[in-house]
Homo-oligomer: A and B are copies of this chain.
Amino acid sequence: MKISMPILGPRALWEKTARWESMGSELLKVRDRHETEMCLQPTAEEMCTHVVAQLPPLKKRMFPLLLYQTTEKFRDEMNPRFGLLRSRQFLMKDLYSFDLTKEDAAKTYSKVCRVYDRILRDRLGLEVYKVVAQSGVYGGSVSHEYHLPNPLEEDGIHFCSKCGTGITKEGGSHKCECGDSAEVKTFSTVEVAHTFQLGTKYSKAFDALTRDKQPLEMCCFGIGVSRLLPAIVSLMSSEKAIRLPPLIAPFSAAVVVTKNLMDNVITELTLSSLDRRLSGGILLDDRVEENVGKRIKHLREIGIPRIVVLGKTTEGTINKVPMVEYFPPQQHCDEDESKEWTLSQVMQSIG
C-alpha cells in the first residue's frame, strides 16, 4: 500500500530505538519555536512502526502488510558531492513489511528481493551486484546491498565472478562459496538499493503486535531513486552522449526538423508513426535557427536514444521516395551512423 509519511520526525520517536544517538552526525536536526527537537528523516522505520502499532488489531489475511513511499530523505553528508550521487536531500523509495512469524518474514524478504532483481536487471537492464551487507544501526541479521560499478565512489565490493556472491568492502574479506578465491575481484561501486531482515527491533520498541501480543517480524527495503540516475549515466555513457535504459530516457525519440519542413506533412507522419511504436514520448526539436549538427549533439547529451532528421536529405527526396537521416540507439560507440533511411525502414528497425 502506498503511503506518505512526514519529513520531520520527532526526537521522541527516534529515542525509542536509540537511533537519535546511534545515527549520529548523519541526522539533520531541527528545533521548532517551542524548542521541540525533530530530525529530517533519512528513513522511516520508527514512524512507520509507530503508525502500524496504532492500527486496530489486524486480521491474519492482512499479512504480509507492505507499506511503501517514494519521498525526499535527508542525510547530513560530511562532503555532499558528485551532484545527485551523494547529496544531503535525495529521493528514496522505502518499503516496510510486517509479518506474523520469522518464516513469513523470510518469505516476504525473498519475494521483494526478487522484485528488486526484476526492476534493476530486467526492467532497467543493469548488471547489478547483489552482495551481503552489514545491518549496522538498522538492526537485524540478514542484509543485502545492490551495487553498480562506479569509479567516483570510495565504496566498494569484493565479488566472485565464478559463484556470483560477494560482500561489501566494509564487511571485510570475501570467502566465496565456491572456494575459488582467485576469481574474487575488488572494485569500487555505488550502493543503489539495500534490503534488511529487521526482526523485532522496531516492533518491540513501538508495541506493534500480533493479536496474540507477539511483536511483528519486520523487513525493510530501499531503492535510491535519485542516485540511480547518475550511477547509470556514469556506467553507460561516454563523453559525448548520455545513454539511458529506454524506461528512463527523457523521450523515446526526437525528430529534428529544418525550417522548410516544419509544416510539411512528412513531419506529422514521422511523429505519429514513431508515437505508435514507442511509449516514452516523442520530442519535436523545433529549434530551426540552430544548425542540425549542434542539435543532434545536444539531444545525445541529454540522453535521447533515437534521432530522426528531416533535413537536406529529406528536402531533396520529398517528391520521390522521401529519405531521412536516422541515428539509432548507440550501444558502445559514439560513431553516429548517418546513412539515409526510408521512413518505413526506420519503423521496421524499431519494430
Contact = CB atoms under 8 A, between A and B. Distances in A.
A25 B33 contact: yes
B28 A28 contact: no
Interface string A14-51: 00000000000100111111000000100000000000
A222 B293 CA distance: 41
B8 A88 contact: yes
Nearest to A87: B6
A101 interface: no
B32 A72 contact: no
Contact of A30 (B6, B25, B28): B28
Contacts of A74: 8
By size class, the interface of chain A is 10 to 19
As for how many copies of this chain the complex holds, the number is: 2
Contacts of A25: 33
A78 B30 contact: no
A30 B30 contact: yes
A8 B90 CA distance: 11
B32 A76 contact: yes
A7 interface: yes
A223 B8 CA distance: 22
A237 interface: no
A76 B33 contact: yes
A40 B33 contact: no
A88 B89 CA distance: 19
A32 B30 CA distance: 10
B76 A8 contact: no
A7 B76 contact: no
Contacts of A72: 7, 72
A25 B32 CA distance: 9
B7 A89 contact: yes
Interface of A: 6-8, 25, 28-33, 40, 72, 74, 76, 78, 88-89
13 contacts: A6-B89, A7-B7, A7-B72, A7-B89, A8-B74, A8-B88, A8-B89, A25-B33, A30-B30, A32-B76, A32-B88, A33-B78, A72-B72
